Amino acid sequence: MLQGHDIVCFANDWQSDPTSKKHIMGRLAEENRVLWVNSIGCRTPQVSARDLRRVLAKGRDFLRGLRRQGPNLWTLSPIAIPFHGLKAAQRMNRFLLAANIRLACRRLGMRDPITWTFVPSSAPVAGRLGERLLVYQCVDEFAQFTGVDGGAMLALEADLAARADLVFVTAARLYDAKVGHNPNTYLVRHGVDVEHFRRALALDLPVADALADAPHPVVGFFGLIADWVDVDLMAAIARARPEWTLALVGPVETDVSALAAMPNVRLLGRRPYADLPRYCKAFDAALLPFRINELTLAANPLKLREYLAAGLPVVSSALPEVEALAELVQIARTPEEWLRHLDAILSHGSAGPQASRADSMRAESWDQKVEEMSTLVEAYLARDPRRGGERRAGRRRREPVRRRTELPAREGLSP
């Protein structure tokens, strides 16, 4: 694993639910110092109560300045203008963000950091902080999110990816879309906290209180319930099987009125990450019901490996990254197929957490994924130890081409 470096990370808000960013940076912070830059936004703000609350929260977090979250990890909430399609906003962000981050780095004694960014909106400043290395890790097709200026986001991402020394992507479809910007692009799929979710198999772990009285079978889902989740499909399942309990764990950002009206549906809201194994223990089967669109076709849902690490049988929409694990998952394309797969799971003795499924995720741990990326970063630093003087001037550097034919060996590490 990387050791002894300073890392500036652009990601989502630290206080949100654990995502791939937090899993990766949490591990890197064991041997490196990390400055985590809270979300600078991708979505164009609207005149709404929700966005007003977010602006006020951002202002409060900015006034708090640097906050220590662990022995080697600090968070910073800078001010950024979220109108990413405007050149004036990009220039202002370049000045504001750079000044704020450089000040934080000076206070922490960070010099020549590695910038590791997960968000295209960081393009105006990422690579312009005097860093020795720029890493862009692409985990989603950001231009496809609702409320995002797609054209502006694509342009920012193209600029960021082209200037990056290394690009990591989490899905094969993302690789195909991004490798044209930068030949030093690698496919490293998501990992999973195996031991955390495997706790669902522990005999002494109680099921979650909210589901202790739920009639079985319990068919469950956890995660953000947003517009890419097929709420209509889940309502159809609940309607067709009124004797089942449909348990949905997670914050809601879309219309779920059809589900809320059903007596066999439990909308449980956001629950602590630490408690998810208790909910998994209550599930007889897990759902991954995503709508099929350009956003989800490029997605690699974290919850897939988390469900499997908890030992759960899974029925999923036909996403390419799910089909890569087809031997462990049931794929459904119609409501009838969903019901047929769930009926088979619940009637053939394969329901609930089972150790064999959890064991299938042993090779998919976050520790192994971080080690894989660390090896690539260390190899780059070893052959190009320069400290980024050219990048400070904003000029693109020439790097050796890494051929597409080299990738399958890497892919073999991330099945």
Residue 46 has pLDDT above 70, yes or no: no
Question: What CATH homologous superfamily does 6-191+366-411 map to?
Answer: Glycogen Phosphorylase B; (3.40.50.2000)
- Least reliable range by pLDDT among 58-62, 233-237, 330-334: 58-62
Query: What's the pTM value of the predicted model, to 2 decimals?
Result: 0.87
- Least reliable range by pLDDT among 40-44, 84-88, 158-162, 309-313: 40-44
pLDDT at 147: 85
Q: pLDDT for 350-391, tens place per residue? A: 888 999 999 999 999 999 999 999 999 999 999 865 544 334
In CATH, the architecture of 194-359 is 3-Layer(aba) Sandwich (3.40)
In 3D space, the residue among 115, 127, 122, 182 whose CA is nearest the CA of residue 156 turns out to be 122
Pairing mode of beta strands 67-70, 114-117: unpaired
Q: pLDDT for 238-294, tens place per residue? A: 999 999 999 999 999 999 999 999 999 999 999 999 999 999 999 999 999 999 999
How far CA 184 is from CA of 103, 156, 188, in Å, comes to: 31, 18, 13
Residue 25 has pLDDT above 90, yes or no: yes
- Least reliable range by pLDDT among 106-110, 195-199, 394-398, 411-415: 411-415
Mean pLDDT over residues 59-72, rounded? 78
Per CATH, 6-191+366-411 and 194-359 having the same topology is answered yes
Per-residue confidence band for 59, with pLDDT thresholds at 50, 70 and 90: low
Report CA Rg, the chain. 22
Domain boundaries, the chain: 6-191+366-411, 194-359
Per-residue confidence band for 39, with pLDDT thresholds at 50, 70 and 90: confident
CA 403, chain centre distance (Å)? 27
In 3D space, the residue among 285, 230, 288, 240 whose CA is nearest the CA of residue 264 turns out to be 240
